[in-house]
Amino acid sequence: MCYLVKERGAFQTGSQPQWQWPSDRFYQTFRMLYPTKSAGKHAARHLSLLFSVAMLVASCSTSAESPSPVTPPPKTQAPPEDKNWAFETAPVWADEFDYTGQPDPAKWGYDLGGNGWGNNELQYYTDNPANASVADGKLAITARIEQMGSEQFTSARLVSKDKGDFLYGRFEIRAKLPTGRGTWPAIWMLPTDAAYGGWPRSGEIDIMEHVGYDQNRVHVTVHTDAYNHTKGTQRGKSKLVETASTEFHRYRVDWTPYAIRGYIDDELMFDFVNNGSGYSAWPFDKKFHLLLNIAVGGNWGGAQGVDPGVFPQTMEIDYVRVYDMIQK
C-alpha cells in the first residue's frame, strides 16, 4: 500500500514552482492559451502541482504492480526417523536357479560389449552360455581368456533392469567368489531411471565387491555425488571372509528410507544413514535394479596386474532373493 503525503510548502498558495519548459513549441502554445502574465503564473503553478501528483501516483503504481521479489529462506530437511522397518518373510522377487540352461529371460537381461566400461576393464561382456549358465541349482558367471572385439577376455554381466526394479527392501544373495589376480566380481545395484543424472549423482549400492589381488577381503560400499571414489569420499566397509572363494556366503543389504545396511552371513558390517541433506548424499529414494558380473582388470581389479594363468574363473550364485519392506 502506498500513500500520497504533502511535503511542507509544496502545495501552499504563493509557493513558486521551479519550472522548465520542455521545448519552444510547448512555450508558444502555452502563451497562446494564457496571454496575460497573471494567467500564465496561475497555469504554471497548476501544471507543476499536477506533474508532482502524477509522478507520485506513477511511482506507487509501479511499486504495487511490480513488487521486489522475495527470496524464501532455503528449506532444511530433517533426517528421516528410523522406524526399525521389518521385511516380509517371503520373497517378492527371486531366482532360485532351479532349472538348466541360460538365466531366466523373464528376470535377467545382459549388458553387452567392451570398451572398458568406464574403469579400463579388459573383458567383453556376452550373452553366451560359456559366460553365463544355470545348472545343478546354481548360476555360474565365468570370465575366460577369449578374444572378442578388441578385448582379450570374455565374461557376463546380468541385469534385472525392467524385470526387477525395487524401491527399498532386503536383498540377499548367496554366492561363492572367484579368485586370482585381476578378477573383480560384483553383486550390486544401479538406479533404473537415473533421475538425478549420470553416475554417481543417481547413486550406486555395492552389496558385494572383491578384487583378486586382495583375496578374501569383501567390500560393501555406496557411491553418491557427495560420496564416491573419484573424490576419495566413498562410504564403505570391508571384512575378511577366509573362505570367500571356497564356500558359499550370504551377502545382504537392507535398504530403508533411513539407512542402507550391509551384512555378511547376517553380521552387520556397514551402516550408511540418510542425513537429510538431499539427493547429493542420498539419491536412494528411487527404484534400483540388480547386477551380477565378473570384470577383469580395470582401475581397481587390475591395480596389481592380471594373472592370465588363473583363468577361467567363476562366480557361483545359489540364489537371489528380494523381500519387500513392510511400510509403517
Residues labelled as active-site residues: 204, 209
Written as nine digits, the cell of 209 is: 565387491
Which residues fall within 8 angstroms of residue 285, CB to CB, at 6 or more apart? 167, 257, 279
Q: Coil, strand, or helix at residue 82?
A: coil
Backbone angles phi, psi at 266, to 5 degrees: 70, 5
Backbone angles phi, psi at 33, to 5 degrees: -80, -30
Longest Cα–Cα distance in the chain:
118
CA count, 13 A, side-chain hemisphere, 9: 3
Backbone angles phi, psi at 17, to 5 degrees: -65, 145
Written as nine digits, the cell of 287 is: 527404484
Written as nine digits, the cell of 28 is: 508558444
CA count, 13 A, side-chain hemisphere, 301: 26
Written as nine digits, the cell of 251 is: 551377502
Written as nine digits, the cell of 199 is: 553416475
Q: Which of 236, 232, 157 is nearest to 190 (CA)?
A: 157
